Protein backbone atom coordinates (compact mmCIF):
# COMPACT_ATOMS: atom_id res chain seq x y z
CA UNK A 1 0.00 0.00 0.00
CA UNK A 2 2.19 2.71 -1.25
CA UNK A 3 -0.42 5.38 -1.36
CA UNK A 4 -1.68 7.53 1.46
CA UNK A 5 -5.41 7.55 1.63
CA UNK A 6 -8.20 7.29 4.07
CA UNK A 7 -10.86 5.59 2.12
CA UNK A 8 -10.29 7.21 -1.18
CA UNK A 9 -12.91 4.67 -2.04
CA UNK A 10 -14.10 1.25 -1.23
CA UNK A 11 -13.44 -2.03 -2.88
CA UNK A 12 -15.16 -2.56 -6.19
CA UNK A 13 -18.86 -2.57 -5.62
CA UNK A 14 -20.87 -5.73 -5.86
CA UNK A 15 -24.45 -6.16 -6.83
CA UNK A 16 -26.48 -6.46 -3.66
CA UNK A 17 -27.09 -10.17 -4.15
CA UNK A 18 -23.41 -10.72 -4.35
CA UNK A 19 -22.21 -8.44 -1.59
CA UNK A 20 -21.54 -11.26 0.86
CA UNK A 21 -19.67 -13.52 -1.51
CA UNK A 22 -17.78 -10.58 -2.95
CA UNK A 23 -16.72 -9.45 0.51
CA UNK A 24 -15.55 -12.98 1.28
CA UNK A 25 -13.44 -13.06 -1.86
CA UNK A 26 -11.88 -9.68 -1.12
CA UNK A 27 -11.17 -10.66 2.49
CA UNK A 28 -9.53 -13.91 1.41
CA UNK A 29 -7.29 -12.02 -0.96
CA UNK A 30 -6.37 -9.44 1.67
CA UNK A 31 -5.53 -12.20 4.17
CA UNK A 32 -3.42 -13.82 1.50
CA UNK A 33 -1.55 -10.71 0.45
CA UNK A 34 -1.22 -8.64 3.62
CA UNK A 35 -0.05 -9.40 7.17
CA UNK A 36 -3.06 -8.98 9.41
CA UNK A 37 -2.85 -8.32 13.12
CA UNK A 38 -4.46 -11.02 15.25
CA UNK A 39 -8.06 -10.16 16.01
CA UNK A 40 -7.28 -10.08 19.73
CA UNK A 41 -4.27 -7.80 19.72
CA UNK A 42 -4.53 -4.44 21.41
CA UNK A 43 -4.65 -2.24 18.32
CA UNK A 44 -7.42 -4.31 16.74
CA UNK A 45 -9.42 -4.53 19.95
CA UNK A 46 -9.22 -0.77 20.39
CA UNK A 47 -10.74 -0.19 16.95
CA UNK A 48 -13.42 -2.74 17.77
CA UNK A 49 -14.07 -1.01 21.07
CA UNK A 50 -14.74 2.30 19.36
CA UNK A 51 -16.95 0.59 16.79
CA UNK A 52 -18.86 -1.02 19.66
CA UNK A 53 -19.62 2.49 20.92
CA UNK A 54 -21.00 3.50 17.53
CA UNK A 55 -23.10 0.46 16.59
CA UNK A 56 -25.74 0.70 19.37
CA UNK A 57 -26.31 4.42 18.85
CA UNK A 58 -26.79 3.87 15.13
CA UNK A 59 -29.43 1.25 15.91
CA UNK A 60 -31.03 3.45 18.53
CA UNK A 61 -31.12 6.72 16.62
CA UNK A 62 -31.21 5.78 12.96
CA UNK A 63 -33.49 2.79 12.93
CA UNK A 64 -36.03 4.54 10.72
CA UNK A 65 -33.48 5.15 7.97
CA UNK A 66 -33.74 1.72 6.39
CA UNK A 67 -30.00 1.33 6.66
CA UNK A 68 -28.16 -1.57 5.13
CA UNK A 69 -26.63 -3.80 7.80
CA UNK A 70 -24.11 -6.58 7.26
CA UNK A 71 -25.40 -10.13 7.41
CA UNK A 72 -26.12 -11.25 10.98
CA UNK A 73 -25.31 -7.66 12.00
CA UNK A 74 -21.71 -8.75 12.19
CA UNK A 75 -19.03 -6.12 11.76
CA UNK A 76 -15.36 -7.04 11.57
CA UNK A 77 -12.52 -4.58 11.91
CA UNK A 78 -9.11 -5.88 10.96
CA UNK A 79 -5.74 -4.18 11.13
CA UNK A 80 -3.06 -4.64 8.49
CA UNK A 81 0.56 -4.35 9.55
CA UNK A 82 1.49 -1.59 7.16
CA UNK A 83 2.49 1.92 8.10
CA UNK A 84 1.10 3.39 4.88
CA UNK A 85 -2.18 5.09 5.72
CA UNK A 86 -5.21 3.30 4.41
CA UNK A 87 -8.73 2.34 5.44
CA UNK A 88 -11.44 0.74 3.40
CA UNK A 89 -14.55 -1.37 3.51
CA UNK A 90 -14.72 -4.68 1.73
CA UNK A 91 -18.50 -4.90 2.05
CA UNK A 92 -20.69 -6.95 4.35
CA UNK A 93 -19.37 -5.15 7.43
CA UNK A 94 -15.71 -5.99 6.92
CA UNK A 95 -13.47 -2.99 7.42
CA UNK A 96 -9.71 -2.94 6.98
CA UNK A 97 -7.30 -0.38 8.37
CA UNK A 98 -3.54 -0.23 8.31
CA UNK A 99 -1.34 0.51 11.28
CA UNK A 100 -0.73 3.78 9.46
CA UNK A 101 -4.21 4.91 10.47
CA UNK A 102 -2.90 5.07 14.03
CA UNK A 103 -0.10 7.39 12.95
CA UNK A 104 -2.59 9.48 10.98
CA UNK A 105 -5.19 9.86 13.73
CA UNK A 106 -4.24 12.23 16.55
CA UNK A 107 -7.06 11.25 18.88
CA UNK A 108 -9.69 8.60 19.35
CA UNK A 109 -12.19 11.10 17.94
CA UNK A 110 -10.37 11.07 14.61
CA UNK A 111 -10.10 7.30 14.72
CA UNK A 112 -13.83 7.15 15.43
CA UNK A 113 -14.45 9.41 12.43
CA UNK A 114 -12.53 7.06 10.15
CA UNK A 115 -14.40 4.05 11.53
CA UNK A 116 -17.76 5.83 11.22
CA UNK A 117 -17.00 6.78 7.62
CA UNK A 118 -16.18 3.19 6.69
CA UNK A 119 -19.29 1.91 8.45
CA UNK A 120 -21.34 4.55 6.64
CA UNK A 121 -20.44 3.07 3.25
CA UNK A 122 -21.98 -0.20 4.40
CA UNK A 123 -24.97 1.40 6.10
CA UNK A 124 -25.87 3.52 3.08
CA UNK A 125 -25.75 0.42 0.91
CA UNK A 126 -22.91 1.48 -1.35
CA UNK A 127 -22.05 -2.13 -2.04
CA UNK A 128 -25.52 -2.62 -3.45
CA UNK A 129 -25.11 0.10 -6.03
CA UNK A 130 -23.55 0.00 -9.43
CA UNK A 131 -20.73 2.43 -9.87
CA UNK A 132 -20.55 4.93 -12.65
CA UNK A 133 -18.12 7.70 -13.48
CA UNK A 134 -15.42 6.12 -11.40
CA UNK A 135 -11.78 6.79 -11.00
CA UNK A 136 -9.63 4.05 -9.54
CA UNK A 137 -6.23 3.48 -8.11
CA UNK A 138 -4.50 0.20 -7.46
CA UNK A 139 -3.32 -1.16 -4.16
CA UNK A 140 -1.43 -4.36 -4.67
CA UNK A 141 -3.71 -6.47 -6.81
CA UNK A 142 -6.75 -4.52 -5.66
CA UNK A 143 -8.44 -1.62 -7.30
CA UNK A 144 -9.97 0.97 -5.06
CA UNK A 145 -13.00 2.71 -6.41
CA UNK A 146 -13.19 6.46 -6.04
CA UNK A 147 -16.64 7.93 -6.17
CA UNK A 148 -17.08 11.50 -5.01
CA UNK A 149 -20.80 11.15 -4.34
CA UNK A 150 -20.33 8.11 -2.14
CA UNK A 151 -17.50 9.76 -0.20
CA UNK A 152 -19.70 12.80 0.47
CA UNK A 153 -22.58 10.57 1.56
CA UNK A 154 -20.34 8.54 3.87
CA UNK A 155 -18.87 11.71 5.41
CA UNK A 156 -22.33 13.12 6.08
CA UNK A 157 -23.61 9.98 7.75
CA UNK A 158 -20.37 9.63 9.73
CA UNK A 159 -20.91 13.13 11.18
CA UNK A 160 -24.37 12.10 12.37
CA UNK A 161 -23.04 8.86 13.85
CA UNK A 162 -20.32 10.76 15.72
CA UNK A 163 -22.87 13.22 17.06
CA UNK A 164 -25.14 10.46 18.32
CA UNK A 165 -22.19 8.66 19.90
CA UNK A 166 -21.01 11.88 21.54
CA UNK A 167 -17.73 12.02 19.72
CA UNK A 168 -16.93 15.51 18.40
CA UNK A 169 -18.25 15.42 14.81
CA UNK A 170 -15.67 18.01 13.78
CA UNK A 171 -13.19 15.14 13.82
CA UNK A 172 -14.53 14.04 10.42
CA UNK A 173 -13.50 17.41 9.01
CA UNK A 174 -10.03 17.36 10.55
CA UNK A 175 -9.48 13.88 9.12
CA UNK A 176 -10.43 14.95 5.61
CA UNK A 177 -8.36 18.13 5.89
CA UNK A 178 -5.29 16.04 6.66
CA UNK A 179 -5.66 13.92 3.54
CA UNK A 180 -3.13 14.62 0.84
CA UNK A 181 -4.39 16.45 -2.23
CA UNK A 182 -4.71 13.73 -4.84
CA UNK A 183 -5.06 16.01 -7.82
CA UNK A 184 -4.81 19.65 -8.71
CA UNK A 185 -7.75 21.98 -9.01
CA UNK A 186 -10.38 23.38 -6.73
CA UNK A 187 -12.83 20.56 -7.35
CA UNK A 188 -10.66 17.70 -6.26
CA UNK A 189 -12.31 15.15 -4.05
CA UNK A 190 -10.76 16.41 -0.83
CA UNK A 191 -11.89 19.99 -1.42
CA UNK A 192 -15.43 18.86 -2.19
CA UNK A 193 -15.50 16.84 1.02
CA UNK A 194 -14.12 19.74 3.08
CA UNK A 195 -16.72 22.16 1.71
CA UNK A 196 -19.58 19.75 2.37
CA UNK A 197 -18.40 19.01 5.90
CA UNK A 198 -17.88 22.69 6.69
CA UNK A 199 -21.46 23.31 5.62
CA UNK A 200 -22.83 20.39 7.64
CA UNK A 201 -20.84 21.45 10.70
CA UNK A 202 -21.48 25.19 10.36
CA UNK A 203 -23.35 25.33 13.66
CA UNK A 204 -21.21 22.81 15.50
CA UNK A 205 -18.62 25.26 16.76
CA UNK A 206 -15.13 24.17 17.60
CA UNK A 207 -14.46 21.55 20.17
CA UNK A 208 -10.93 20.57 21.08
CA UNK A 209 -10.53 16.86 21.08
CA UNK A 210 -7.80 15.61 23.28
CA UNK A 211 -6.28 12.19 22.93
CA UNK A 212 -6.67 9.94 25.94
CA UNK A 213 -3.58 8.32 27.49
CA UNK A 214 -4.94 4.94 26.34
CA UNK A 215 -5.16 6.11 22.74
CA UNK A 216 -1.66 7.61 22.84
CA UNK A 217 -0.23 4.39 24.22
CA UNK A 218 -1.91 2.19 21.61
CA UNK A 219 -0.95 4.59 18.83
CA UNK A 220 2.70 4.58 19.91
CA UNK A 221 2.75 0.79 19.93
CA UNK A 222 1.24 0.63 16.46
CA UNK A 223 3.55 3.23 14.98
CA UNK A 224 6.68 1.77 16.56
CA UNK A 225 5.86 -1.56 14.99
CA UNK A 226 5.64 -3.20 18.38
CA UNK A 227 3.76 -6.39 17.64
CA UNK A 228 4.36 -8.30 20.84
CA UNK A 229 1.49 -6.95 22.90
CA UNK A 230 -1.67 -8.96 22.87
58: number of Cβ within 10 Å: 21
156 binding Zn ion? (CB under 5 A): no
State which of positions 119-138 bind Zn ion (CB under 5 A).
none
DSSP letters of 178-212? HS---SSSTTSHHHHHHHHHHHHTTTT--------
Question: Which region, left, alpha or beta, applies to residue 185 given φ > 0 means left and ψ of -120 to 50 means alpha?
Answer: left
Select from 87, 80, 125, 82 the least CA-distant residue to 9: 87
Binding region for Zn ion (CB under 5 A) out of 94-102, 154-162, 166-174, 187-195: 154-162
Binding region for Zn ion (CB under 5 A) out of 144-152, 173-181, 182-190, 219-227: 144-152
Q: Applying CB under 5 A, which of residues 1, 7, 11, 114 lies at the interface with Zn ion?
A: 7
Residue 50 or 154: the one with the smaller Cβ distance to Zn ion is 154
Residue 81 or 190: the one with the smaller Cβ distance to Zn ion is 190
State which of positions 10-69 bind Zn ion (CB under 5 A).
none
Binding region for Zn ion (CB under 5 A) out of 52-60, 148-156, 162-170, 174-182: 148-156
Give the end-to-end CA distance of the chain in Å, rounded to a whole number: 25
* Size of the chain, expressed as the number of residues it contains: 230
Determine the Cα–Cα distance for residues 79 and 225; give it in Å rounded to an integer. Answer: 13
Closest approach, Cβ 154 to Zn ion, in A, equals 5
Determine the Cα–Cα distance for residues 13 and 147; give it in Å rounded to an integer. Answer: 11
161 binding Zn ion? (CB under 5 A): no
| Residue 64, SS3 per DSSP | helix
Determine the Cα–Cα distance for residues 46 and 78; give it in Å rounded to an integer. Answer: 11
Determine the Cα–Cα distance for residues 107 and 212; give it in Å rounded to an integer. Answer: 7
102: number of Cβ within 10 Å: 22
Residue 7 or 58: the one with the smaller Cβ distance to Zn ion is 7
146 binding Zn ion? (CB under 5 A): no
Residue 16 or 152: the one with the smaller Cβ distance to Zn ion is 152
157 binding Zn ion? (CB under 5 A): no
90 binding Zn ion? (CB under 5 A): no
Binding region for Zn ion (CB under 5 A) out of 14-22, 66-74, 147-155, 163-171: 147-155
Residue 100 or 221: the one with the smaller Cβ distance to Zn ion is 100
Q: Applying CB under 5 A, which of residues 50, 87, 124, 154 lies at the interface with Zn ion?
A: 154
Sites of contact with Zn ion (CB under 5 A)? 7, 151, 154
Amino acid sequence: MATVSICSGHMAAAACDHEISNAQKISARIANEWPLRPSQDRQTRYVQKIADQLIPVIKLNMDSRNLNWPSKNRWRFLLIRDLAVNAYSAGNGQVYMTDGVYSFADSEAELAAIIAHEMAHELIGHFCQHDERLATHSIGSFTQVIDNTKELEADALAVEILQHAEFPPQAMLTVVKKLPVPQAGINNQRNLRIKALQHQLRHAGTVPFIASPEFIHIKQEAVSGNTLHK
